[in-house]
């Protein structure tokens, strides 16, 4: 198990258009495994290669209890629309309201280079869009409708509260909105 360091907003690596993966070798398998380890270690629901400083088109997503390893992913269809809170492991302590398709179908390759298709609805669709944006140098803060402010989380019924009462130290203040793990 290898946990890699997560690159944070302000680093140029998050702003690059990542290159397609051409070699399906041991190095790629290790990268994907390390990315999954790093995602789970940080309680994330997705992680893209540029978030660990590797400018290749690869990401991992686990938003539905299944680990998806996606190499050279492309969204081939989008349906509907959803608006909801979103956070990012590379943008710690913040959250925003982002509009995404309700359902997407993604074509990709697996670690061996075999073609795969993943269809996701709801949060899985959101996670797939978020990770593929990372491969194009796009962060959710670029496209969000608005920032979710700390005070507002307690007041706005549409956004799950994150802040814990002052007398409780159970959770750090940077925890993303409940049920919406960072991507
Ligand atoms: Zn992210």
Give the Å distance between the CA of 130 and the centre of ligand 1: 6
Q: Which two three-digit tokens encode residue 146?
A: 């608005």
Banded model confidence at residue 181, pLDDT cuts 50, 70, 90:
confident
Number of H helices, E strands in the chain: 4, 8
Q: What is the pLDDT of residues 30-72, one digit of tens each?
A: 999 999 999 999 999 999 999 999 999 999 999 999 999 999 9
131, 147, 152, 180: the catalytic one is 131
Between 36 and 167, where is the model more confident?
Answer: 36
Give the Å distance between the CA of 155 and the centre of ligand 1: 26
Domain regions of the chain by residue span: 12-155
Between 168 and 137, where is the model more confident?
Answer: 137
| CATH of the domain spanning 12-155, picked from 3.90.45.10, 3.30.300.10, 3.20.20.70, 3.90.1150.10 | 3.90.45.10
Predicted TM-score (pTM) of this structure:
0.86
DSSP state of 4: P
Banded model confidence at residue 175, pLDDT cuts 50, 70, 90:
very low
- Note if 152 is an active site residue: no
Question: Is pLDDT above 80 for 152?
Answer: no
Break the chain down into helix, strand, coil percent, rounded to 5: 25, 30, 45
Give the Å distance between the CA of 148 and the centre of ligand 1: 16
The helix/strand/coil state of 75 is strand
Give the Å distance between the CA of 134 and the centre of ligand 1: 7
Give the Å distance between the CA of 167 and the centre of ligand 1: 31
């Amino acid at each position: 198990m290898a946990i890699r360091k997560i690159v944070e907003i302000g680093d140029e690596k998050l702003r690059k258009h990542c290159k397609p993966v051409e070699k399906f070798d041991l190095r790629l398998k290790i990268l994907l495994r390390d990315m999954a380890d790093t995602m789970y270690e940080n309680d994330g629901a997705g992680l893209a290669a540029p978030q660990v400083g590797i400018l290749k088109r690869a990401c991992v997503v686990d938003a539905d209890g299944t680990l998806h390893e996606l190499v050279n992913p492309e969204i081939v269809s989008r349906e509907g629309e959803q608006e909801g809170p979103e956070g990012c492991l590379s943008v710690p302590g913040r959250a925003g309201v982002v509009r995404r398709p309700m359902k997407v179908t993604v074509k990709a390759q697996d670690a061996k280079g075999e073609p795969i298709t993943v269809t996701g609805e709801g949060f899985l669709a959101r996670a797939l869009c978020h990770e593929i944006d990372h491969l194009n140098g796009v962060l959710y803060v670029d496209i969000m409708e608005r920032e979710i402010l700390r005070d507002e989380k307690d007041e706005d019924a549409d956004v799950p509260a994150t802040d814990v009462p002052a007398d409780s130290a159970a959770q750090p203040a940077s925890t993303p909105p409940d049920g919406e793990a960072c991507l």
